[in-house]
Amino acid sequence: MTQVTLHQLSQTYPQANLPAVHRLNLTLPTGQITALLGPSGCGKTTVLKMIAGLVEPTEGDIQFSGKSVLNLLAERRGAVMVFQSHLLFPYMSVGENVGFGLKMRGVDAATVRRRVATMLEWVQLGGLENRRPKQLSGGQQQRVALARALIVEPQVLLLDEPLSNLDAHLRGEMRDLILTIQRKLAITTIFVTHDQEEAMLMADQIALMFVGRLQQFAPPRDFYERPVSVGVARFFGGVNFIPATKHGLQLETPLGILHSLPHTLPDGPVMLTIRPENLNIKPHGPTPPAGSNIVLATIQQQLYLGTHVRFTVQANNLILEVVAEPRQVDQFRLGQTVHLEFPALQIWLLPMP
């Protein structure tokens, strides 16, 4: 198994105003799946190509298990890349496509046939080795590309937007297949995606990039519960942001005084955030006791979405979003005054942008 380390990795394309990747430092654990996540043009595919040896870094180093691979040709690195567009040989059969890498390594024909058959069973394409790529669906072609990459037993598997060309049903099937095979082989896997949900479902850890720079590297859960900046929180669907001044556990806000759990940020200006599903909306009742983290709000909009209800409320001059259980749709009406509870455990503080 292989640990991948990126040290001060940079790439600046000729005539570009900004580097595509700027001094990226990452240690990707052996045998796990890492998602390179970010919007289009953030540099994530460039990182993948540098690891594969298809693009030479402007500066920095790439190490596999502590040894630099910069001086190794792409085919000698032990990293195999599966592209978004499959890139299958149209004049070859499925079996010939899958076995191509072994054939180039001089493996005997009988062994190639045996391993091709095994690999096609793994990707659920057994019995299709004599078909041509044009006779396959897009999902089947992607499975062939995956089988072709895995059959050579790479140290590192690189996937460039592996699910983006598939419809929703096939994406789910392909995602499950990749996870099953990855767990079976325990191969270090890095995949590029712009889809937060895909990264959450597949990755052991996520490296989020904006404009060529790493923003946060952490397990998926942290991006929802412990984002490091307003930009990261917004990328993962954060919509509730309230300016505050921190005084120990006390937060002075436009909504009044709220209380949080201990936080590493120093006292002073901060940005308070809380996810819509962590706010509690309750009927207006007796005045809540001091320190209860409950404020008054007015319902501006409500959307019933089957599995949940999304309320838009106004508290003071702030517009906030609340996600509640579907049964609560009948408890409230537009214009109604309600109590809005901010559980201290769910409040997260961010540096002021």
Each residue's pLDDT tens digit, 192-232: 999 999 999 999 999 999 999 999 999 999 999 999 999 99
Q: Which residue, 28, 30, 152, 137, is CA-closest to 98?
A: 152
Beta strands in 197-293 (DSSP E): 205-210, 213-218, 241-247, 250-253, 256-259, 268-273, 280-283
Cα gap 348→112, rounded to integer Å? 55
Residue 335 buriedness (CB in 10 A; 0-12 / 13-18 / 19+): exposed
DSSP 277: G
Q: Which helix (H) or strand (E) holds 35?
A: strand 33-37
| Inter-residue contact 52 to 1 (CB < 8 Å) | no
Distances (CA, A) of 261 to 289, 303, 348: 18, 32, 9
Tell me the mean pLDDT in the region 146-172: 87
| Inter-residue contact 70 to 62 (CB < 8 Å) | yes
- Window from 86-90, 130-134, 261-265 with minimum mean pLDDT: 86-90
Q: Which two tokens stand for residue 52?
A: 């594969």
DSSP 97: H
3-state class of 341 per DSSP? strand
Q: Which two tokens stand for residue 343?
A: 């559980």
Per DSSP, the residues of 229-250 read: SHHHHHHTT---EEEEEEETTE
Q: What are phi and psi of 151, to 5 degrees?
A: -65, -25
Task: Determine the CATH number of domain 239-351.
Answer: 2.40.50.100
Per DSSP, the residues of 121-140 read: HHTT-TT-TTS-GGGS-HHH
pLDDT at residue 25 above 80?
yes
What are the boundaries of each domain within the chain? Answer: 4-230, 239-351
pLDDT at 307: 94
Grade residue 51 by pLDDT with cuts at 50, 70 and 90. very high
pLDDT at residue 102 above 90?
no
CATH class of 4-230: alpha beta
The rounded Cα 231 to chain-centroid distance in angstroms is 15
Distances (CA, A) of 159 to 85, 124, 230, 275, 338: 11, 19, 29, 31, 48
Cα gap 294→267, rounded to integer Å? 22
Grade residue 171 by pLDDT with cuts at 50, 70 and 90. confident
Tell me the mean pLDDT in the region 321-347: 94
Distances (CA, A) of 301 to 2, 242, 305, 314, 329: 51, 20, 13, 10, 11
Cα gap 137→96, rounded to integer Å? 18
Grade residue 3 by pLDDT with cuts at 50, 70 and 90. very high
Over pLDDT 70: what percentage of the chain? 100
pLDDT at residue 85 above 80?
no
pLDDT at residue 277 above 80?
yes
Q: Which two tokens stand for residue 144?
A: 């062939």
| Inter-residue contact 295 to 315 (CB < 8 Å) | yes
Q: What is the mean pLDDT of the chain?
A: 92
